[in-house]
Amino acid sequence: MRISNPFTKLGLYFKRMGQLLRPSPRPKNSIHATRWEDNLTPFYESSGVAHEEFAGKNRLLALKLFLVVVVGILCLRLFQLKVVQGSAFKQQAATNFTRFHQISASRGIIFDSLGTPLVLNEPDYVLSALPAQLPRAAAARDAVATKLSTLLNVPAIDVQTALTTAFKLNHASVPLKFSLSRDQGIEMITKSSDFPGLQLDIESKRNYTGSTAFSQILGYLTQVSDDDLKADTFYQNGDKIGRDGLERYYENQLRGVKGVGEIEVDAKGKQITVRSDPNQLPQSGRNLVLTINKNLQSTVQTALENGIRTAKGAGGVAIVLDVRSGAILAMASAPTYDNNVFSAANNTDAINQLYSPDSGTPLFDRAIAGLYPPGSTFKTITASAGLQEGVIKANTILQTPGFLDVGGSKFIDWIYGASGGNFGSLNVVGALTHSSDVFFYQVAAGYNQLTGLGSDRLKHYADLFGLESQTGIDLPGEKKGVIPSQSEYAALQKDWYWGDTAHAGIGQGYVLVTPLELCDAIAAIANGGTLYQPYLVKSIETSGTDPQQVTAPKVTRANVVSSSVLQTVRQGMRGTVNDPGGTAPQLKSLPVIVAGKTGTAQTDKIRQNHAWFVSFAPYDNPQIATVVLVEQGGEGSQTAVPITKEILAWYFTNLSH
């Protein structure tokens, strides 16, 4: 093939121009002959060149200079682009085919006290749209949507809507709520050029293996919200965050540290290579080791649910707590739920069902957030306060008729309501054993010659036992109890009556506690007066030279009341199980001596009473305290005591050593 030289043609052009500038020759004697002065300018004396010919050459020179200037400008511009701005354009070009993205860290694992994993991480194929790289034309986006809908076997309109919505958002990445199988993920990677503007990441999802018995303790993950993104720059759109339970409380420890990766693609968007920055590799989250034993937790949950079903109750709580440290050994709340529903994609219906009115509020952790009248279990606090303040002594005898007549109103004892009888003369140990209401009406509010505690002193001792404070357990959403008093009502200009104090003395009226608060108070009675902060995480596995961060027991309050006072209260609780007329004789057959207190808390005239039982064991050397509550379960002795028996039997058969 011949290649012409443009400069040769340019030279011929100027040569012809020069010829045209010379005067045309004319024949001799022609009538068109011209004179020198008509056609030519005068000769320059020094050169002998005609002015017309000089002007032509001058124009040629100017044109050449113009070309030199133009070529010079182009060279300078080329130098600027290549040398001066070369690195910047090189970086921009690299950005055009290299996508930087965050690499999520592997989330920490949660183990039970013996090292059994309660949750695992499994691969999850996460599909995201990159709005800046999606096709600009709607028709082109729809074509991508059609291919994706075929691959995922979902309606094309759903994919089109998702891509259109993502295209309009001002986000670097927008997660698409479509679940992909492993095979679909592989096919999408191999055909990545068919899906411009889409990115597939292999992340992890939580698989909760500890059954539903752990759901309210562990919690679950959801995608971050706009509020989460504003609150913490660690997260980006599409990340997951702990939303409840330990997953939320220990989010910063479990989430780890993200890394940085690069995805190199060609001009068509096809993935070429994937690499990580060796200086910014992800760091796995820390593992948690719990105080809870998986088998004990499952046993407690099953016993509670069976007891609720038998009593036709609405829900319930069962807690086992180590009285020597505050460690939670088991904590069940019912109804519960399967927290794996939050890990599955396209599971909106199942999640919505958890919030439906007829679901029984399974997401509500009754153990730490439920507020209930404690009923007769509160008599242990009234007894402690009365003995400590000297209102009564261990040998003080009070008459307990079937009812007290105060101001024309009858304040009856439960036995009078059941059979028309009474307990006669009782000391505080007997009053706890038989659970006499009339005895504790007098201790709390006073009667005849006995000056009672009064509501303010009763409130003070309830506070000392932690019944109006959050326990500080390592879970989100804990509530605190309500112990009202006459002084508080006076400040609010509300009336307060003798009966309000009397009812408070037996855990009724306006008194409300959480099951965990009550269990912690019973543990303090059992261990001699030390109130511990309950906790669930025994240790946190860390990196570096210190392999584990161990949780040390934390004393909230020591010497709540005197040891002699607590010894008397413990004797009354022992009588509940072991003495004639006690309200929980079913527990006598256990291999250890148990002390406890039944409770039947009134709710309203329509619903059944709440059934309570609190206990500690062994009596002589307490290891654990328990609380069992069945909402609308009827009598504590009939409903809560059998559940407790099953729990204690399993514990002292399998774990007490």
Q: Which residues pair with 240 in a beta bridge?
A: 223
Residue 409 identity (one-letter amino acid):
S
Per the CB < 8 A criterion, the answer to whether 506 and 397 are in contact is no
- Between 45-49, 97-101, 648-652, the lowest mean confidence (pLDDT) is in 45-49
Give the CA count within 13 Å in the CB-facing half-sphere of 165: 11
- pLDDT at residue number 23: 52
Q: What is the mean pLDDT of residues 105-121?
A: 94
pLDDT for 87 equals 67
Taking 60 as the threshold, does the pLDDT of residue 342 lie above it? yes
DSSP for residue 43: P
d(CA 148, CA 197): 12
Task: Give the number of other Cβ atoms within 10 Å of residue 510's Cβ.
Answer: 16
Whether the pLDDT of residue 31 is over 50: the answer is no
The average confidence (pLDDT) of the chain is 86
User: What pLDDT is stored for residue 274 in this prediction?
Assistant: 63
| Beta pairing class for 110-111 and 288-290 | parallel
Write out pLDDT tens, residues 186-237: 888 788 788 888 878 777 889 999 789 999 999 999 989 999 999 999 998 8
pLDDT band at 1 (very low <50, low <70, confident <90, very high): very low
Query: What ranges make up the beta strands (E) of 511-652?
Result: 531-532, 537-541, 548-550, 555-557, 595-601, 610-617, 624-631
pLDDT of residue 65: 83
Q: Give the rounded distance of the alpha carbon of 94 from its chain centre.
A: 38
The predicted-structure confidence for 356-379, as pLDDT tens digits, reads as follows 888 899 999 999 999 999 999 999
The pLDDT value given to residue 527? 97
DSSP 8-state symbol, 80: I
Indicate the length of the chain as a whole number.
Answer: 657
Residues contacting residue 53 through CB under 8 Å, at least 6 positions apart: 21, 22
The answer to whether 422 and 401 have CB atoms below 8 angstroms apart is yes
pLDDT at position 532: 98
More confident residue, 43 or 133: 133
Radius of gyration of the chain (CA): 43
Model confidence pLDDT, tens digit, residues 38-66: 444 444 444 455 556 666 677 778 788 88
- pLDDT (tens digit, 9 = 90+) per residue, 156-186? 888 888 888 888 876 766 777 666 778 888 8
C-alpha to C-alpha distance for 426 and 418, rounded to whole angstroms: 19
pLDDT at 54: 61
- pLDDT of 273-289, one tens digit each? 666 677 778 888 999 99
Taking the CA atoms of 309, 311, 313 and 315 in sequence, report the sign of the dihedral they define.
negative
3-class DSSP state of 317: strand
**Residue 37 binned pLDDT confidence (cut-offs 50, 70, 90):** very low
Task: For strands 424-426 and 398-400, give the pairing.
Answer: antiparallel
In the predicted structure, residue 13 carries a pLDDT above the cut 60: no
Q: Which of 135-144, 241-250, 631-640 has the lowest mean pLDDT?
A: 135-144
Distance, in Å, from the CA atom of 575 to the CA atom of 580, rounded to the nearest integer, reads: 8
454 compared with 92, residue with greater pLDDT: 454
- With pLDDT > 70 as the criterion, what percentage of the chain qualifies? 84
Residue 456: pLDDT over 90: yes
Yes or no: say if 570 and 526 are a contact pair by the CB < 8 Å rule.
Answer: yes
Residue 40: predicted pLDDT:
46
List all residues 6 or more positions away from 159 whose beta carbon is below 8 Å from its beta carbon. Answer: 145, 146, 148, 149, 152, 178
Q: Helix (H, G, I), strand (E, B), or coil: what is residue 292?
A: coil
Residue 188 half-sphere exposure toward CB, CA atoms < 13 A: 27
Cα dihedral: 598, 604, 606, 610 (round 10): -20
> What is residue 258's predicted lDDT score, i.e. its pLDDT?
87
Lowest-pLDDT choice from 149-153, 173-177, 385-389:
173-177
Which range has the worst mean pLDDT, 77-86, 166-175, 296-305? 77-86
pLDDT for the residue numbered 505? 98
pLDDT at 657: 66
Asked if 478 and 514 touch (Cβ cutoff 8 Å), the reply is yes
Nearest-angstrom CA–CA distance, 420 and 439: 16
**Burial environment of residue 168 by CB neighbours within 10 A (0 to 12, 13 to 18, 19 or more):** exposed
Number of H helices, E strands in the chain: 24, 23
pLDDT in tens, 236-263: 888 899 999 999 999 999 999 888 877 6
Look-up of token digits 């002959």 = 33
Confidence of residue 12 (pLDDT cuts 50, 70, 90): low
pLDDT, residue 43, reads 44
Please give the pLDDT value at position 36.
44
Residues 218 and 247: beta-carbon distance below 8 Å: yes
Contact at 8 Å (CB) between 471 and 360? no
pLDDT per residue as tens digits for the range 467-488:
999 999 999 999 999 999 999 9
The band of 91, judged by pLDDT with boundaries at 50, 70 and 90, is low
Helix (H) or strand (E) holding 15, with range, is helix 6-21
Question: What is the C-alpha to C-alpha distance for residues 29 and 500, in angstroms, rounded to an integer?
Answer: 148
Q: State the pLDDT at residue 2.
A: 43
Per-residue pLDDT, 3: 43
